[in-house]
């Protein structure tokens, strides 16, 4: 067996894929997908397509565990759920977001995005949120559809494609069209591993496509988990990290990374 030196992009990518496979194996032992540890909120997300789509829309500028719980808490405050309820009652939705306490760091904007998302589902998908992904779309087409919703950026669209395919078992064709998300954790690890040289979305997406052309998006979850668990913004735990043995540990390369 050829020994690959630390810093080789080949060894780093393989370590990321191995870690991703381990995450998938752990997930496969669970009875149902787990997006957050809040059991009622998680059950709501995985049992209702519009709740999941709303979760994607609302996942920004706050910890994922809180952001993904917003649809559940909103439904409780409204006393119901569904695209018709959200689209037809923008003032009620806004008041529910405002609280107190506020459901989101940006409650007014989030309320507007939820209402717009519900209206798009009604107008473009006959009121069925699952129709966005249940016709066996390619990864590229699904990402395009998701990006058409106000509030869903490249980061969130790419993330959602991988979640739907890997955790929900949605049939997504041609996963060579999947992408990594331009997320702060992903960006930090891409730079510190040397897989990317610049903190630019097109550069990082293209790098992932080149490094793992069969399924670039497969790199997303392991990159994100490493960034959240060991490769922190202000401190690193390189010796404990699952890819620490092969990572070149270019810590200063991510010094300028900002965002959420």
pTM of the model: 0.89
> What does the alpha-carbon distance between residue 168 and residue 34 come to, in Å, rounded to a whole number?
10
Query: Considering the domain 9-29+176-254 in this protein, what is its CATH number?
Result: 1.10.1670.10
pLDDT at 29: 55
- Evaluate if residue 3 carries a pLDDT over 60: no
Contact criterion met (CB below 8 Å) for 234 and 223? no
pLDDT in tens, 196-207: 999 999 999 999
Question: What pLDDT does 258 receive?
Answer: 86
Residue 31's Cβ-count burial label (10 Å; 0-12, 13-18, 19+) is exposed
Domain segments of the chain: what residues?
A: 9-29+176-254, 39-174
CA-based nearest residue to 178, from 224, 132, 142: 142
Architecture of the structural domain at 39-174: Orthogonal Bundle (1.10)
Q: What is the pLDDT of residue 64?
A: 86
Report the candidate in 52, 156, 66 with the shortest Cα–Cα distance to residue 106. 66
pLDDT at 13 over 90: yes
Q: What is the mean pLDDT of the chain?
A: 94
* pLDDT of 4 higher than 90: no
User: Does residue 1 carry a pLDDT above 70?
Assistant: no
User: Which residues lie closer than 8 Å to 3 by C-beta, 6 or more apart?
Assistant: none
**What integer is the mean pLDDT of 83-103?**
98
**Quick check: 139 and 173 in contact, CB under 8 A?**
yes
| Residue 104 DSSP code | S
Residue pointed to by tokens 């399924």 = 215
8 Å CB contact between 39 and 72: no
Q: In the prediction, which pLDDT does 128 show?
A: 98
**Residue 2: predicted pLDDT:** 42
DSSP, res 171: -
Tens of pLDDT, residue by residue over 121-178, are 999 999 999 999 999 999 999 999 999 999 999 999 999 999 999 999 999 999 999 9
Q: Is the CB of residue 164 less than 8 Å from the CB of residue 133? A: yes
The residue to which tokens 């891409």 are assigned? 190
């Amino acid at each position: 067996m050829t020994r690959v030196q630390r810093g080789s992009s080949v060894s780093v990518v393989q370590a990321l894929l191995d870690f991703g496979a381990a995450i998938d194996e752990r997930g496969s032992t669970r009875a149902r997908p787990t997006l957050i540890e809040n059991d009622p909120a998680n059950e709501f997300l995985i049992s209702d397509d519009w709740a999941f789509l709303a979760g994607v829309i609302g996942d920004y500028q706050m910890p994922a565990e809180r952001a993904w719980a917003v649809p559940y808490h909103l439904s409780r405050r409204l006393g119901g759920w569904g695209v018709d309820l959200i689209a037809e009652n923008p003032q009620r939705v806004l008041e529910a977001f405002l609280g107190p306490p506020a459901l989101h760091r940006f409650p007014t904007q989030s309320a507007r995005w939820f209402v717009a998302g519900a209206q798009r589902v009604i107008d473009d998908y006959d009121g069925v949120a699952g129709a966005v992904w249940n016709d066996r779309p390619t990864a590229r087409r699904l990402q395009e559809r998701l990006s058409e919703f106000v509030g869903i950026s490249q980061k969130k669209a790419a993330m959602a494609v991988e979640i739907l395919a890997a955790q929900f078992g949605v049939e997504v064709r041609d996963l060579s069209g999947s992408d990594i998300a331009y997320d702060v954790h992903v960006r930090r690890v891409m730079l510190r591993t040397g897989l990317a040289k610049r903190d630019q979305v097109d550069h990082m997406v293209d790098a992932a496509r080149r490094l793992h052309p069969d399924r670039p998006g497969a790199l997303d979850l392991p990159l994100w988990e490493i960034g959240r668990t060991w490769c922190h913004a202000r401190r690193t735990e390189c010796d404990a990290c699952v890819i620490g043995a092969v990572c070149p540990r270019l810590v200063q390369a991510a010094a300028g990374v900002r965002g959420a």
